Structure 1
Protein backbone atom coordinates (compact mmCIF):
# COMPACT_ATOMS: atom_id res chain seq x y z
CA UNK A 1 0.00 0.00 0.00
CA UNK A 2 1.38 3.39 -0.97
CA UNK A 3 1.76 6.18 1.54
CA UNK A 4 -0.72 9.00 1.67
CA UNK A 5 0.20 12.63 1.05
CA UNK A 6 -0.86 13.13 4.68
CA UNK A 7 2.15 11.03 5.74
CA UNK A 8 4.67 13.43 4.15
CA UNK A 9 6.96 15.36 6.45
CA UNK A 10 6.95 18.24 6.40
CA UNK A 11 3.33 18.35 5.33
CA UNK A 12 3.44 22.16 5.15
CA UNK A 13 6.43 24.49 5.16
CA UNK A 14 5.77 28.07 4.15
CA UNK A 15 7.25 31.52 4.65
CA UNK A 16 6.62 35.06 3.50
CA UNK A 17 8.38 38.34 4.22
CA UNK A 18 7.81 42.10 4.10
CA UNK A 19 9.76 45.27 4.83
CA UNK A 20 8.47 47.32 7.77
CA UNK A 21 9.45 50.93 8.54
CA UNK A 22 10.23 50.28 12.22
CA UNK A 23 13.05 48.85 14.30
CA UNK A 24 13.24 45.09 14.90
CA UNK A 25 12.42 45.76 18.56
CA UNK A 26 9.27 47.72 17.64
CA UNK A 27 8.13 44.99 15.24
CA UNK A 28 8.85 42.24 17.79
CA UNK A 29 6.83 44.07 20.47
CA UNK A 30 3.78 43.83 18.20
CA UNK A 31 4.12 40.28 16.82
CA UNK A 32 4.88 38.77 20.25
CA UNK A 33 1.71 40.30 21.73
CA UNK A 34 -0.58 37.41 20.74
CA UNK A 35 -3.72 38.83 22.43
CA UNK A 36 -3.55 41.55 19.73
CA UNK A 37 -3.51 39.01 16.88
CA UNK A 38 -7.08 39.87 15.87
CA UNK A 39 -5.56 43.08 14.46
CA UNK A 40 -3.68 41.11 11.81
CA UNK A 41 -4.67 37.43 11.63
CA UNK A 42 -7.21 36.20 9.08
CA UNK A 43 -8.47 33.59 11.60
CA UNK A 44 -7.29 34.34 15.13
CA UNK A 45 -9.58 36.74 16.98
CA UNK A 46 -7.15 37.20 19.86
CA UNK A 47 -7.12 35.34 23.14
CA UNK A 48 -5.30 35.27 26.44
CA UNK A 49 -2.23 33.96 28.18
CA UNK A 50 -3.34 31.07 30.39
CA UNK A 51 0.00 30.17 31.98
CA UNK A 52 3.43 31.68 32.34
CA UNK A 53 4.64 35.22 31.74
CA UNK A 54 3.09 36.77 28.60
CA UNK A 55 5.32 36.09 25.59
CA UNK A 56 7.94 34.08 27.51
CA UNK A 57 9.25 30.68 26.43
CA UNK A 58 7.03 27.99 27.94
CA UNK A 59 4.01 30.26 28.36
CA UNK A 60 0.70 29.01 26.96
CA UNK A 61 -1.70 31.13 24.90
CA UNK A 62 -5.35 30.22 24.34
CA UNK A 63 -6.50 31.64 21.03
CA UNK A 64 -10.02 32.23 19.79
CA UNK A 65 -10.37 31.52 16.09
CA UNK A 66 -13.07 32.10 13.50
CA UNK A 67 -13.31 30.35 10.12
CA UNK A 68 -15.93 31.19 7.52
CA UNK A 69 -17.95 28.68 5.54
CA UNK A 70 -16.19 29.51 2.26
CA UNK A 71 -12.66 28.43 3.36
CA UNK A 72 -11.96 25.19 1.45
CA UNK A 73 -15.74 24.89 1.53
CA UNK A 74 -15.96 21.26 0.38
CA UNK A 75 -13.69 19.88 3.16
CA UNK A 76 -14.96 18.84 6.63
CA UNK A 77 -13.25 21.69 8.49
CA UNK A 78 -14.15 23.23 11.82
CA UNK A 79 -16.33 26.25 11.01
CA UNK A 80 -17.34 29.20 13.12
CA UNK A 81 -15.53 29.77 16.41
CA UNK A 82 -13.08 27.34 17.93
CA UNK A 83 -10.19 27.53 20.40
CA UNK A 84 -6.55 26.46 20.28
CA UNK A 85 -3.70 26.42 22.74
CA UNK A 86 -0.07 27.05 21.87
CA UNK A 87 3.18 27.09 23.82
CA UNK A 88 5.88 29.69 23.14
CA UNK A 89 9.05 27.92 22.00
CA UNK A 90 11.28 30.91 21.14
CA UNK A 91 11.19 34.49 22.37
CA UNK A 92 14.24 36.58 21.52
CA UNK A 93 13.25 40.27 21.56
CA UNK A 94 14.06 41.99 18.29
CA UNK A 95 14.82 38.65 16.59
CA UNK A 96 12.39 35.71 16.76
CA UNK A 97 9.09 34.65 18.27
CA UNK A 98 7.62 31.14 17.77
CA UNK A 99 4.82 29.04 19.16
CA UNK A 100 3.88 25.36 18.88
CA UNK A 101 0.28 24.25 18.66
CA UNK A 102 -0.84 21.86 21.38
CA UNK A 103 -3.27 18.97 20.94
CA UNK A 104 -6.51 18.82 22.92
CA UNK A 105 -4.60 16.47 25.25
CA UNK A 106 -2.10 19.34 25.80
CA UNK A 107 0.68 17.54 23.90
CA UNK A 108 3.16 19.18 21.53
CA UNK A 109 2.32 18.92 17.84
CA UNK A 110 4.70 19.46 14.94
CA UNK A 111 2.80 22.61 14.03
CA UNK A 112 4.93 25.71 14.60
CA UNK A 113 4.15 29.31 13.69
CA UNK A 114 6.56 32.17 14.06
CA UNK A 115 8.10 35.47 13.12
CA UNK A 116 11.72 36.39 12.52
CA UNK A 117 12.77 40.03 12.28
CA UNK A 118 16.07 41.59 11.28
CA UNK A 119 17.34 45.08 10.48
CA UNK A 120 16.96 46.06 6.81
CA UNK A 121 17.18 49.34 4.90
CA UNK A 122 16.62 51.62 7.90
CA UNK A 123 13.73 49.47 9.10
CA UNK A 124 13.13 45.75 9.39
CA UNK A 125 12.51 42.66 7.34
CA UNK A 126 9.74 40.60 8.93
CA UNK A 127 9.42 36.92 8.02
CA UNK A 128 6.29 34.96 8.95
CA UNK A 129 6.63 31.19 8.77
CA UNK A 130 4.67 28.03 9.39
CA UNK A 131 5.86 24.44 9.46
CA UNK A 132 3.86 21.31 10.09
CA UNK A 133 6.10 18.26 10.22
CA UNK A 134 3.81 15.33 10.90
CA UNK A 135 0.11 15.91 10.33
CA UNK A 136 -1.70 17.02 13.47
CA UNK A 137 -4.66 15.21 15.00
CA UNK A 138 -6.87 17.86 13.39
CA UNK A 139 -5.50 17.21 9.90
CA UNK A 140 -5.98 13.47 10.40
CA UNK A 141 -9.59 14.09 11.46
CA UNK A 142 -10.26 16.33 8.44
CA UNK A 143 -8.81 13.83 5.97
CA UNK A 144 -9.91 10.55 7.59
CA UNK A 145 -12.87 9.97 5.27
CA UNK A 146 -11.29 11.46 2.13
CA UNK A 147 -9.84 9.31 -0.63
CA UNK A 148 -6.27 10.01 -1.75
CA UNK A 149 -7.32 12.30 -4.62
CA UNK A 150 -9.38 14.39 -2.17
CA UNK A 151 -6.49 14.42 0.32
CA UNK A 152 -4.15 15.75 -2.37
CA UNK A 153 -6.75 18.37 -3.32
CA UNK A 154 -7.12 19.36 0.35
CA UNK A 155 -3.35 19.72 0.88
CA UNK A 156 -3.07 21.82 -2.29
CA UNK A 157 -5.96 24.10 -1.38
CA UNK A 158 -4.86 24.36 2.26
CA UNK A 159 -1.34 25.30 1.13
CA UNK A 160 -2.80 28.09 -1.02
CA UNK A 161 -4.92 29.26 1.94
CA UNK A 162 -1.87 29.30 4.22
CA UNK A 163 0.18 31.26 1.65
CA UNK A 164 -2.61 33.83 1.38
CA UNK A 165 -2.93 34.03 5.17
CA UNK A 166 0.82 34.58 5.66
CA UNK A 167 0.81 37.42 3.10
CA UNK A 168 -2.34 39.02 4.54
CA UNK A 169 -0.95 38.79 8.08
CA UNK A 170 2.28 40.53 7.10
CA UNK A 171 0.48 43.35 5.29
CA UNK A 172 -1.78 43.91 8.30
CA UNK A 173 1.16 43.86 10.75
CA UNK A 174 2.98 46.39 8.55
CA UNK A 175 -0.09 48.66 8.71
CA UNK A 176 -0.43 48.21 12.49
CA UNK A 177 3.25 48.95 13.16
CA UNK A 178 3.64 51.83 10.71
CA UNK A 179 0.40 53.64 11.65
CA UNK A 180 0.62 53.36 15.44
Structure 2
Protein backbone atom coordinates (compact mmCIF):
# COMPACT_ATOMS: atom_id res chain seq x y z
CA UNK A 1 0.00 0.00 0.00
CA UNK A 2 1.54 3.30 -1.11
CA UNK A 3 0.56 6.80 0.01
CA UNK A 4 0.76 8.11 -3.57
CA UNK A 5 -2.08 5.70 -4.50
CA UNK A 6 -4.40 7.62 -2.13
CA UNK A 7 -5.63 4.58 -0.17
CA UNK A 8 -9.30 4.75 0.75
CA UNK A 9 -11.14 2.99 3.54
CA UNK A 10 -14.89 2.78 4.19
CA UNK A 11 -17.24 1.34 6.79
CA UNK A 12 -21.01 1.13 6.59
CA UNK A 13 -23.85 0.27 8.90
CA UNK A 14 -27.60 -0.07 8.50
CA UNK A 15 -29.88 1.70 10.97
CA UNK A 16 -33.62 1.63 11.47
CA UNK A 17 -34.12 5.39 11.51
CA UNK A 18 -34.83 8.23 9.12
CA UNK A 19 -32.27 9.87 6.86
CA UNK A 20 -33.11 13.17 8.59
CA UNK A 21 -32.16 11.76 12.01
CA UNK A 22 -28.86 10.36 10.71
CA UNK A 23 -28.14 13.66 8.97
CA UNK A 24 -28.69 15.50 12.24
CA UNK A 25 -26.15 13.22 13.94
CA UNK A 26 -23.42 13.12 11.27
CA UNK A 27 -23.46 16.86 10.59
CA UNK A 28 -22.61 17.54 14.23
CA UNK A 29 -18.84 17.93 13.89
CA UNK A 30 -18.48 17.11 17.60
CA UNK A 31 -20.05 13.66 17.19
CA UNK A 32 -16.76 11.82 16.44
CA UNK A 33 -15.12 13.42 19.49
CA UNK A 34 -17.51 11.39 21.64
CA UNK A 35 -16.33 8.08 20.20
CA UNK A 36 -12.90 8.55 18.64
CA UNK A 37 -9.79 7.30 20.36
CA UNK A 38 -7.84 10.03 18.51
CA UNK A 39 -9.98 13.13 17.90
CA UNK A 40 -9.91 15.18 21.10
CA UNK A 41 -11.90 18.27 20.11
CA UNK A 42 -13.27 20.33 17.22
CA UNK A 43 -14.50 23.86 16.64
CA UNK A 44 -15.75 25.89 13.73
CA UNK A 45 -13.28 28.53 12.52
CA UNK A 46 -15.36 29.85 9.60
CA UNK A 47 -19.11 29.39 9.60
CA UNK A 48 -20.97 27.29 12.11
CA UNK A 49 -22.61 24.52 10.10
CA UNK A 50 -22.02 21.99 7.37
CA UNK A 51 -21.99 24.24 4.30
CA UNK A 52 -19.56 24.39 1.40
CA UNK A 53 -16.56 26.55 2.25
CA UNK A 54 -17.03 26.44 6.02
CA UNK A 55 -13.96 25.36 7.98
CA UNK A 56 -13.37 23.59 11.26
CA UNK A 57 -10.31 22.75 13.31
CA UNK A 58 -9.63 19.33 14.83
CA UNK A 59 -7.35 18.55 17.77
CA UNK A 60 -5.85 15.07 17.71
CA UNK A 61 -3.76 12.87 19.95
CA UNK A 62 -2.17 9.52 19.14
CA UNK A 63 0.22 7.44 21.28
CA UNK A 64 2.79 7.07 18.46
CA UNK A 65 2.24 10.35 16.63
CA UNK A 66 1.79 12.83 19.46
CA UNK A 67 -0.60 15.78 19.31
CA UNK A 68 -1.50 17.89 16.29
CA UNK A 69 -4.18 20.17 14.91
CA UNK A 70 -5.81 20.03 11.50
CA UNK A 71 -8.00 22.41 9.54
CA UNK A 72 -10.76 21.02 7.37
CA UNK A 73 -12.94 22.62 4.71
CA UNK A 74 -16.39 21.39 3.74
CA UNK A 75 -16.19 20.74 -0.01
CA UNK A 76 -19.48 18.95 -0.85
CA UNK A 77 -22.94 18.94 0.70
CA UNK A 78 -26.07 17.15 -0.48
CA UNK A 79 -28.58 17.63 2.36
CA UNK A 80 -29.64 14.43 4.09
CA UNK A 81 -27.41 12.42 1.71
CA UNK A 82 -23.71 13.35 1.81
CA UNK A 83 -21.15 15.75 3.16
CA UNK A 84 -17.45 15.74 2.39
CA UNK A 85 -14.55 17.60 3.99
CA UNK A 86 -10.88 17.88 3.15
CA UNK A 87 -8.07 18.20 5.66
CA UNK A 88 -5.51 20.77 4.58
CA UNK A 89 -2.08 19.37 3.78
CA UNK A 90 1.20 21.02 2.90
CA UNK A 91 0.52 20.99 -0.85
CA UNK A 92 -3.12 19.97 -1.23
CA UNK A 93 -5.58 17.88 0.76
CA UNK A 94 -3.85 15.56 3.23
CA UNK A 95 -7.07 13.53 3.40
CA UNK A 96 -10.69 13.62 2.32
CA UNK A 97 -13.44 12.35 4.63
CA UNK A 98 -17.18 11.88 4.16
CA UNK A 99 -20.45 10.65 5.57
CA UNK A 100 -23.03 9.32 3.09
CA UNK A 101 -26.63 8.33 3.80
CA UNK A 102 -28.57 5.95 1.55
CA UNK A 103 -32.25 5.53 2.37
CA UNK A 104 -33.64 2.04 1.96
CA UNK A 105 -36.98 0.36 2.24
CA UNK A 106 -36.37 -1.20 5.67
CA UNK A 107 -33.33 0.69 6.93
CA UNK A 108 -30.95 3.53 6.16
CA UNK A 109 -27.33 2.79 5.28
CA UNK A 110 -24.69 5.14 6.64
CA UNK A 111 -21.20 5.10 5.16
CA UNK A 112 -18.13 6.85 6.45
CA UNK A 113 -15.06 6.84 4.25
CA UNK A 114 -11.68 8.50 4.07
CA UNK A 115 -8.99 8.81 1.41
CA UNK A 116 -5.35 9.64 2.10
CA UNK A 117 -3.61 12.39 0.19
CA UNK A 118 -2.72 13.44 -2.30
CA UNK A 119 -1.18 16.33 -0.34
CA UNK A 120 1.65 15.83 2.10
CA UNK A 121 0.92 15.38 5.79
CA UNK A 122 2.58 14.30 9.00
CA UNK A 123 2.25 10.74 7.72
CA UNK A 124 4.30 11.54 4.62
CA UNK A 125 7.03 12.96 6.84
CA UNK A 126 7.21 9.60 8.62
CA UNK A 127 7.31 7.82 5.26
CA UNK A 128 10.06 10.14 3.99
CA UNK A 129 12.18 9.32 7.03
CA UNK A 130 11.59 5.55 6.71
CA UNK A 131 10.72 4.85 3.05
CA UNK A 132 11.36 1.13 3.46
CA UNK A 133 8.45 1.03 5.96
CA UNK A 134 5.91 2.91 3.82
CA UNK A 135 3.56 -0.06 3.40
CA UNK A 136 3.49 -0.72 7.12
CA UNK A 137 3.07 2.97 8.00
CA UNK A 138 0.12 3.38 5.62
CA UNK A 139 -1.49 0.10 6.70
CA UNK A 140 -1.22 1.09 10.36
CA UNK A 141 -2.85 4.44 9.65
CA UNK A 142 -5.68 2.80 7.73
CA UNK A 143 -6.22 0.50 10.76
CA UNK A 144 -6.41 3.59 12.99
CA UNK A 145 -9.01 5.07 10.67
CA UNK A 146 -11.00 1.84 10.72
CA UNK A 147 -10.99 1.81 14.53
CA UNK A 148 -12.31 5.38 14.65
CA UNK A 149 -14.95 4.83 11.98
CA UNK A 150 -16.24 1.64 13.62
CA UNK A 151 -16.39 3.51 16.95
CA UNK A 152 -18.47 6.22 15.27
CA UNK A 153 -20.90 3.66 13.86
CA UNK A 154 -21.27 1.91 17.21
CA UNK A 155 -21.75 5.24 18.98
CA UNK A 156 -24.43 6.28 16.49
CA UNK A 157 -26.19 2.95 17.05
CA UNK A 158 -26.16 3.64 20.81
CA UNK A 159 -27.49 7.18 20.32
CA UNK A 160 -30.34 5.87 18.17
CA UNK A 161 -31.25 3.38 20.92
Higher relative contact order by CA 8 Å / sep ≥ 6: 1 or 2?
1
Q: For structure 2, which runs of at least 5 residues remain unmatched after alignment? A: none
Pick the aligned partner of 2:68 from 82, 98, 102.
82
Root-mean-square deviation (CA), in Å? 2.1
Pick the aligned partner of 1:168 from 147, 151, 158.
151
Report the TM-score when normalising by structure 2: 0.87
Q: Does 1:58 align with 2:44?
A: no
Equivalent residue number for residue 131 of structure 1: 115
Q: For structure 1, which runs of at least 5 residues remain unmatched after alignment? A: none
Pick the aligned partner of 1:114 from 62, 84, 98.
98
Report the TM-score when normalising by structure 1: 0.79
Query: Does structure 2 conserve the Cα–Cα contact (< 8 Å) formed by 1:116 and 1:126?
Result: yes
May I ask how many residue pairs the two structures share in their alignment? 161
Offset of residue 135 of structure 1: 5.1
CA deviation map 1:121-142 (0-9, x unaligned): 4331000100124252322212
Measure the CA separation in 2 of the matches of 1:62 and 1:5: 27
